[in-house]
Structure 1
Amino acid sequence: MDLATLTAGMKERIEAKPAFGNSVKFDFGDAGKIHIDGKNGNTVTNDDGAADCTLKIALGDFIDMVEGRLNGMNAFMSGKLKVDGDMSVAMKLQSIIG
Structure 2
Amino acid sequence: MDTCKAYLPELVQSRIDDLVNVQGLEGELAIHLKELQDSLAALEALAREDASEAARGLVEDMERLIDRVRREYVSLAYRQGLVDGAGFRRMVAGQGVVPEI
TM-score range, shorter chain: under 0.3
Who wins on radius of gyration, i.e. which is larger?
A: 2
Q: Name the structure with the higher helix share.
A: 2
Structure 1 length normalisation: TM-score? 0.22
Q: Name the structure with the higher strand share.
A: 1
